Amino acid sequence: MEYLYPISGLFFYRLIFMFWLLLGEGLFVFRFKKKKHFIIRLILVVLACFLFALAFPIPTSNAFYLMIMFLLMFVFTYFASMFLFEVEWKMLLFSMISGYTIEQIAYEAYFAFNNFLNLNQYQNGGMYSKDTINLFSGPLDEFIYFACYIVIYWVMFVLFANRIKGSQEFDTNSSKSNLKFLVIGIFFLSSDIVISSAVSFYGTIHYENIYMGIISIVIALCCLIGLFFLFEMFYGNNLKHDIEIVKEIRKEEKNQYQISKETIDLINIKCHDFRHQIRKLGKEQNIQESAIENVNKLINIYDSSIKTSNDTLNVILTEKSLICAKNGIKFSCIADGMILNFMTEEDIYSLFGNIIDNAIEAVNHLTDDKKIITLRIKSVGNMISISEKNSYDNDINLINGLPQSNKNDTMHHGFGLKSIKLICEKYHGTMQINYENKIFNITLLFIPSNINN
């Protein structure tokens, strides 16, 4: 047993490595949806990981044996994390690989400083030593170690980990892209471990401080570039996925527009005919004028009360005003529909449908005095301005400049603003979102001269 578990620097370093590995992985996964009794599960997982690290035999300090040990520790933490989070395995693997990589970057940064300052600890094996129990050569070495890890972890969290949101996942409809991504990620992790182990093995044969320090910097930079590459590929893949979803939604909106247009036209015709029939019946039956007016008011609820110079805008505003009336929402609209003629019918229907739907969702559960939506469409100098305001009471979290959906099913909601943004960009416009004093305001600006170019 003493041969397999010698009390040495390496014996304790296994536990230190596991601590930094779990912390690095935790930075990337903490926002994922947690399973029931998460705290109890977390305690059990952390204990299991440290027990695994402690139980792993170390009959040799050979660099390639240690490579296998560190790799198996990573694999163990990956499967243990499945016990904690409800997230697809590909997204979890991506996050865990990222967590392992920042641990490697921090270690290489420390290793470089150690060599450039000629602290000499690693010439004697250092943390990998089976013969000595000391992990550090002195207070300066220890300070550099913890400073490197703390600073690197904080920087990596800001640059990378903070970009991962709990609702994200891989595009399950693009298996080819997923396979390419996973192969690159696994290759990146494997290369990271193998190269680091090979350098460590070389150091046991011929140790040169400056050379080893430069190699550590190169490895750290390669890891950093790899992280940038993986994240950009991931978000590029997600962006393509979102665009495809928005396109599908737009197709559905196009069909809905035709249905809504026909339905509202039919309602207006029937309401118009019904009013004349009521008046005719009232005269024939000597019904009081006040009673007839009350009936007409009820009919007007279903008749189009918003008239602009744009037929498509009339359809969507009428449709949404009926929904507002049903839910007790005051919908105020001042619109010059003529200035929207530069847009296609489908874009107008989609744009204002999404704007008003988001507003209805925000105010629908508020008190009656706050159930107010105002929409303004007007010319401002040589620009066309579209502005909508409404109250809200939920916290607003921005993701890539857009508010995150407050619905639980965030994978199938939250595309309204993405669709608005795409339409805005299509016509070379700008979109600005403000939210102060519990008032949400979205403003779109278009310059006709830019649209025509």
Find, among 90, 82, 58, the residue nearest to 171 by Cα: 90
pLDDT value at residue 426: 85
Q: Could you count the other beta carbons within 10 Å of the beta carbon of residue 423?
A: 22
362 phi, psi to nearest 5 deg:
-70, -35
Tokens for 442, please give them. Answer: 């979205």
Six token digits for residue 118: 């000629």
Across the chain, mean pLDDT equals: 76
* Strands 430-436 vs 439-446: parallel, antiparallel or unpaired: antiparallel
How high is the pLDDT of residue 445?
93
The backbone torsions φ and ψ at residue 166, rounded to the nearest 5 degrees and listed phi first, read -65, -20
- Indicate the SS3 state at residue 433: strand
Instruction: State the pTM of this model.
Output: 0.59
The residue-averaged pLDDT of 42-55 equals 94
Percent of the chain with pLDDT over 90: 22
Residue 31 and residue 24: Cα distance in Å, rounded? Answer: 14
| Lowest mean pLDDT, pick from 74-88, 172-186, 320-334 | 172-186
Tens digit of each residue's pLDDT (9 = 90 or more) over 376-427: 999 988 889 999 999 988 777 666 666 665 554 444 445 678 888 888 888 8
Q: Give tens-digit pLDDT for 210-240.
A: 777 888 888 888 888 878 877 777 766 665 5
The predicted-structure confidence for 288-299, as pLDDT tens digits, reads as follows: 566 556 555 555
- pLDDT attached to residue 11: 77
CA dist., res. 181 & res. 436, Å (int): 40
101, with CB counted inside 10 A (0-12, 13-18, 19+), is buried
The pLDDT score that the predictor gives to residue 300 is: 56
Strands 330-335 and 372-380, sheet pairing: parallel
Query: What residue spans of 138-208 are helical by DSSP H?
Result: 139-159, 175-205
| pLDDT (tens digit per residue) in 345-363 | 888 888 898 899 889 988 9
Query: Is residue 389 classed exposed, middle or buried when 0-12, 13-18 and 19+ CB atoms within 10 A define those classes?
Result: middle
- Asked if 440 and 391 touch (Cβ cutoff 8 Å), the reply is yes
- Per-residue model confidence as pLDDT tens digits over 112-140: 888 888 775 554 445 555 555 667 777 88
Least confident of 21-35, 86-100, 117-131: 117-131
Residues 303-319, mean pLDDT to the nearest whole number: 74
Q: 134 and 142 in contact (C-beta within 8 Å)?
A: no
Domains of the chain, CATH where assigned: 9-246 (no CATH), 304-452 (3.30.565.10)
Q: Which tens digits make up the pLDDT trace of 234-275?
A: 766 665 555 565 555 555 555 555 555 655 565 565 565 555
**Complete edge-to-edge strand list for the sheet that includes strand 439-446:** 330-335, 372-380, 383-391, 439-446, 430-436
pLDDT value, residue 80? 95
How is the chain split among helix, strand and coil, in percent rounded to 5? 65, 10, 25
What pLDDT does 150 receive?
Answer: 95
For residues 30-67, one letter each, b for 16 or more C-beta atoms within 10 angstroms of the residue's C-beta and e for the rest, the string is ebbebeeeeeebeeebbeebeebbeebebeebbbeebb
Nearest to 126 by CA among 6, 4, 9: 9
- pLDDT given for residue 412 in this prediction: 41
| 152-156, 338-342, 409-413: range with lowest mean pLDDT | 409-413
